[in-house]
Amino acid sequence: MFRALARVGATESVAYRTEVVVWLLSTTMPLVMIAFYSAVARDGPVGGFDQARFVAYFLATFVVRSLTGSFVSRQINLEVRDGTLAARLLRPVHPLLAYAAESVGALPVRVAVAVPVALGMLATLGEGALARGAAAWLAFFASLVGAWLLSLLVSFAVGALSLFMDWSDKVMDAWLAGLFVFSGYTIPVELFPARLRAIVEWLPFRYQIGLPAELLTGAHAPAVALELLARQWLFVALAGLAVRALWRRGVGRFAAYGG
């Protein structure tokens, strides 16, 4: 059943390929930041980042963002408003599992964009720009899965809020504002002041983008990487509990309306 739903997601991503391309183009902020930080570091390293490391880091954030971004919340909002969520509730599969399968089905289109960027990164900057060793790559892939799950669960939670309010998209906008500032997407976490960085370490935003990008570029020793992975998966677990509670209570309030 999951495979069938994933195929549906893949078909939709092809059918709405223009929308997918527009979404991918909207994630090019890291490419803008490459130009900005390369100019900043022209006369010397900034906090341990030289021009080559800035390029590697922001290309890594582009890859991570392309592979892990999730906008299921908007789909849930729309289906709650027009009543089509009722049809999902009648099917012999949990709606959240169906949304997840459809998200998985859209991944091949994203991979088609992210992989060439990663290969270009390797060809331009050399192997030294990426993580080395099987353990480092295993940590990266674990963090990438964690980032995808965290993004998906946060999107689920925000979408579930639409069962309590008219429209929860503004909540997602607020979350994305925090994500862009505190995740390492526009500013590497390493460059934050020490006090602010201590706070960011215990916010979920870094673990959606920054951590996988850091591990892809080999920024952490194994012990540090394991500690950060443990924090990431703790946030995944907490997000899962939040989704479970919100969905159960929200569905009890749901009444199909619209048309």
Which residues, including other chains, have CB under 8 Å from residue 2's CB and lie 6 or more apart? 97, 101
- pTM score: 0.87
Cα separations in angstroms, 99 against 79, 86, 255: 12, 14, 20
Q: How would residue 10 be classed by pLDDT, with cut points 50, 70 and 90? A: low
Amino acid at 96: L
Q: What is the pLDDT of residues 114-144, one digit of tens each?
A: 777 777 766 677 666 778 889 999 999 999 9
Which residues, including other chains, have CB under 8 Å from residue 166's CB and lie 6 or more apart? none
pLDDT at position 259 is 47
Q: What is the pLDDT of residues 94-109, one digit of tens each?
A: 888 888 888 887 777 7
Where are the alpha helices (H) located in 94-165, listed in sequence order? 95-105, 107-125, 134-161
Q: What whole-number distance in Å separates Cα of residue 56 and Cα of residue 72?
A: 29
Crossing angle of helices 2-15/107-125, nearest 10°? 70
The closest alpha carbon to 226, from 134, 140, 128, 132, belongs to: 140
Give the residue, 96 or 233, on which the prediction is more confident: 233
Q: What whole-number distance in Å separates Cα of residue 144 and Cα of residue 133?
A: 17
pLDDT at position 181 is 92
Give the residue, 119 or 189, on which the prediction is more confident: 189
For the chain, what are the domain ranges? 2-253
At residue 236, does pLDDT exceed 80? yes
Q: What is the pLDDT of residues 42-94, one digit of tens each?
A: 888 888 888 888 888 988 898 898 888 888 898 899 888 888 888 888 888 88
Q: What angle do CA 104, 109, 110 make, to 5 degrees?
A: 80
